[in-house]
């Protein structure tokens, strides 16, 4: 068992208040023009903080958070991994791409068992998000799996495609379907029986997270497993029909559908089949995994529970072993800041609403669920509303802030961390007025929270995990196109030390990133960061 206890920092003066780490999810630093929702919002607190002496910007995308290239946007999962681990670990997109390139993914037991089932009379089902957003999945991974299945003489493959419109353009589904359908046509011309069987928009079909709305998973189950959905001759026809019926609808909210032939679904999931969920990111793949694997499942009536071999692209929860079988081994993230703080006797408190609760707990703790030391840690989840985020851009910011103020006044926790989801969750809607209001809700929360930290003699540390609200639209052919994906922009990082106990200065760094934050938090707590961590952004004067 590693010794995670930290030494005290030399020449450090103790102070009475807490260190409060505030993550403004999705609030990056954009172009400061009319496309920038952060710039346009009324944010008197942030305006002052941006001028504070202890201010810098952090890289929150690409290789700085373990993604394959600088063209890859960051996301909340990899962002919180980097924030909590203090180092950069290869993330799902990079791990899967390397495993496919080397062929290692096809040499593992899970892939071989899936093919065995498919060759013994079953069907191989591939389920997941169809886009090149590289946040939850990548279409290239699916195409590679189809090629490999064909070369292995798998007789029958069915795909259950979830439409994105969130990490990519809002109405881009037909582009990805065209690529996929062309691949399937080529393989079928060579004698295969591969086709799309069902699908639906990711925000209302299959991809719920943190138990926020199990009806989303139920709709997916009905489409993928039971074949219970509106019928079409092809996936492209389904999408085009939904577009024609509602010109305002975007891909992430398209209703579920099934593909039928002669009046019958072409690919329900049956006993003896194999199912691979090809998303590599875990938060929105966990619940469907549970629906397939849990014998005592009670979140909705499955009607029937087929006996299948089920595997994920990766294991989505290492502690709970969800799923039991997976294709690619995840990075083993050890020595997180929480492990060090618990070993050093530092009490901590983590809070967010449902949409980001797992990020300040599970992802923060290196993709591990549950407490590290329940005697020193308190985790609080505020239940999210089940309404479209653009219709309630304040979300649960007020309730989160109420709980934080009570906790700060209680004085029981030395380290407090919080995620305000507004800038990200509302940013994904692409509705400008709502995006601006979401940023203003976070700023209002800061105006309530910072005075309480000051009264307590504490320190406020404020940043974001990636950008989103900082770009509401892009210009294409002279027209505004809503931008609903994360951005490649840097994020702000600022420190307000109200304790007066120590004098700090920014340390020079070539390209500081999110992984530098953990050591910085340790430094502010008066602890000497481990050598393996990326260095602190601050040092004592």
Q: Is the CB of residue 77 less than 8 Å from the CB of residue 167?
A: no
**Residue 462: closest CA among 419, 512, 510:** 419
Q: What CA–CA distance (Å, rounded) separates 201 from 441?
A: 28
Query: Closest by alpha carbon to 150, among 105, 112, 190?
Result: 190
CA pair distance 341, 519, nearest whole angstrom: 11
Angle at CA 163, nearest 5°, toward 157 and 165?
155
Residues carrying an active site annotation: 76
The pairing of beta strand 257-261 with beta strand 264-265: antiparallel
Dihedrals phi, psi of 539, to nearest 5 degrees: -145, 155
CA distance 146 to 193: 11
Residue 384 is encoded by which pair of tokens?
């999210």
End-to-end CA distance of the chain: 36
Q: SS3 helix, strand, coil % of the chain, rounded to 5? A: 35, 20, 45
Asked whether the beta carbons of 357 and 386 are under 8 A apart, the reply is no
User: Residue 130's beta-bridge partner residues?
Assistant: 163
CA 133 vs. chain centroid, Å, equals 12
């Amino acid at each position: 068992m590693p010794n995670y206890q930290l030494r005290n920092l030399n020449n450090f003066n103790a102070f009475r208040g807490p260190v409060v780490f505030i993550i403004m999810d999705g609030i990056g630093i954009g172009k400061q023009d009319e496309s920038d929702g952060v710039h346009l919002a009324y944010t008197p607190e942030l305006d002052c903080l941006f001028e504070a002496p202890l201010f810098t910007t952090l890289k929150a995308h690409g290789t700085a958070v373990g993604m394959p290239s600088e063209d890859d946007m960051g996301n909340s999962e990899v962002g919180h991994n980097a924030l909590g681990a203090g180092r950069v670990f290869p993330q799902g997109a990079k791990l899967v791409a390397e495993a496919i390139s080397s062929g290692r993914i096809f040499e593992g037991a899970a892939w071989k068992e899936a093919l065995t089932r498919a060759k013994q009379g079953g069907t191989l089902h591939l389920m997941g998000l169809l886009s090149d957003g590289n946040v939850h999945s990548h279409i290239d991974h699916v195409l590679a799996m189809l090629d490999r299945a064909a070369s292995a003489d798998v007789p029958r493959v069915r795909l259950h495609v979830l439409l994105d419109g969130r990490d990519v353009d809002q109405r881009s589904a037909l582009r990805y379907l065209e690529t996929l359908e062309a691949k399937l046509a080529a393989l079928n011309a060579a004698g295969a029986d591969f086709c799309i069987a069902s699908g639906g928009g990711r925000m209302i079909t299959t991809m719920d997270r943190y138990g926020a709305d199990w009806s989303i998973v139920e709709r997916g189950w009905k489409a993928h497993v039971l074949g219970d959905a509106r019928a079409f001759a092809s996936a492209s026809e389904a999408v085009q029909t939904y577009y024609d019926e509602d010109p305002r609808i975007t891909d992430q909210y398209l209703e579920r559908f099934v593909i039928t032939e002669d009046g019958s679904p072409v690919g329900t999931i049956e006993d003896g089949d194999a199912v691979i969920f090809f998303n590599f990111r875990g938060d929105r793949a966990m619940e469907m995994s549970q629906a397939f694997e849990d014998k005592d499942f009670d979140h909705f009536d499955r009607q029937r529970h087929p006996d299948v071999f089920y595997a994920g692209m990766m294991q989505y929860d290492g502690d709970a072993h969800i799923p039991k079988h997976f294709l690619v081994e995840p990075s083993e993230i050890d020595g997180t800041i929480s492990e060090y703080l618990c070993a050093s006797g530092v009490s901590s408190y983590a809070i967010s609403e449902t949409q980001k609760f797992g990020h300040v707990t599970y992802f923060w703790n290196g993709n591990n669920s549950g407490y590290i030391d329940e005697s020193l840690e308190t985790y609080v989840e505020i239940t999210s509303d089940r309404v479209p985020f653009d219709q309630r851009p304040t979300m649960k910011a007020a309730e989160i802030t109420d709980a934080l103020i009570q906790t700060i006044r209680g004085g029981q926790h030395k380290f407090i961390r919080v995620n305000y989801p507004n800038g990200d969750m509302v940013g994904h809607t692409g509705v400008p007025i709502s995006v601006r209001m979401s940023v203003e809700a976070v700023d209002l929360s800061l105006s309530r929270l910072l005075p309480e930290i000051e009264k307590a003699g504490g320190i406020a540390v404020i940043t974001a995990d990636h950008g989103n609200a900082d770009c509401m639209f892009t210009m294409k052919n002279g027209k505004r196109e809503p931008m609903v994906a994360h951005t490649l922009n840097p994020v702000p990082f600022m420190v307000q030390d109200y304790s007066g106990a120590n004098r700090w200065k920014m340390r020079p760094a070539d390209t500081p990133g999110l992984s530098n934050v953990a050591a910085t938090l340790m430094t502010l707590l008066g602890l000497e960061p481990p050598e393996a961590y990326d260095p602190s952004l601050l040092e004592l004067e």
